[in-house]
Amino acid sequence: MSSPDADKAFTGSIPRLYEEYLVPMIFEPYAVDLVNRIVSRPLTRVLEIAAGTGVVTRNLASALPESVSIVATDLNQAMLDMASKVGTRYPVEWRQADAMQLPFEDSMFDAVVCQFGVMFFPDKPKAFSEMRRVLRPGGVLIFNVWDRIEENEFAHNVAAALAALFPNDPPRFMARTPHGYHDLATITRDLEAGGFRSSPHISTVAARSRATSARIPAIAYCQGTPLRGEIEARDKSRLSEATDAAEEAIVRQFGPGPVDGKIQAHIITIER
């Protein structure tokens, strides 16, 4: 009941819920981390891939001088529309683009940045090859990926709750895609297959995911990601029930009231 295309379907109300709930809860800390890792570099043009609703884009525009050109791309126009609506400190170029076939000339950018997008690419070596192609010699690619789902407590609780709710056909989007590309040896091999010859620098960074109640991560994951499509494909009428089950699972581990769970990701930096 799932497909690679369904895993990339950020449509309907998902962009709004993603921006409202997921961005402050799990994406903002790593956006700040990514930007802090490149702001000291000499930059003229920066390309962001899989920009989503623009949390990294906003941090780039806040940290970099206005003389730096930022192009922010995403496969999903609905996500870019939300990003553009939220806005940035200075104008950036929002552009729909497929990471498998970037619409840019060779050696155009000093840096390519991608936050939690690589996991969605169907052919990762091809995507890395495209990123390398548009980087100037000496330019840098920096991206992050989620560690395994067991290291990310809210996501793990939600997945377990849905597995209990749909025991004959558990929705596996979270483990399969967002948390499905965490093996560092595989990532290194894919970078090599994409043409990178230098060794990547890899950091594993833990952070905290906080919300005022368990309801927020339940809505965020069940209704603000393509997991929603997996739930509705099983039974469209059970989305609210699935959200309730996810909330109950989080309450069981973290208690009522504000919740505070571990999140963990790998940050990879490599020069062309």
Cα–Cα distance, 272 to 63 (Å, whole number)? 23
pLDDT value for 5:
61
Count other C-beta atoms under 10 Å from residue 238's C-beta: 15
pLDDT value for 9:
58
pLDDT value for 11:
60
Contact predicate 194/127, CB 8 Å: yes
Cα–Cα distance, 124 to 54 (Å, whole number)? 22
What is residue 3's three-state secondary structure? coil
pLDDT value for 121:
97
Please, what's the b/e burial string for 64-78 (b: 16 or more CB within 10 A of its CB; e: otherwise)? beeebbbbbbbbbeb
Contact predicate 9/229, CB 8 Å: yes
Contact predicate 194/134, CB 8 Å: no
Count other C-beta atoms under 10 Å from residue 138's C-beta: 10
pTM given for the model = 0.94
Pull the structure tokens for residue 174.
């979270």
Distance of CA 240 to the CA centre of its chain: 24
The domain of 122 spans 4-271
pLDDT value for 2:
47
User: Residue-wise pLDDT tens for the chain (272 aa)?
Assistant: 444 565 555 767 788 999 999 999 999 999 999 999 999 999 999 999 999 999 999 999 999 999 999 999 999 999 999 999 999 999 999 999 999 999 999 999 999 999 999 999 999 999 999 999 999 999 999 999 999 999 999 999 999 999 999 999 999 999 999 999 999 999 999 999 999 999 999 999 999 999 999 999 999 999 999 999 999 999 999 999 999 999 999 999 999 999 999 999 999 999 99
CATH of the domain at 190: 3.40.50.150
pLDDT value for 130:
98
Pull the structure tokens for residue 105.
């000339």
Cα–Cα distance, 203 to 268 (Å, whole number)? 7
State how many domains the chain has.
Answer: 1
Write out pLDDT tens, residues 124-166. 999 999 999 999 999 999 999 999 999 999 999 999 999 999 9
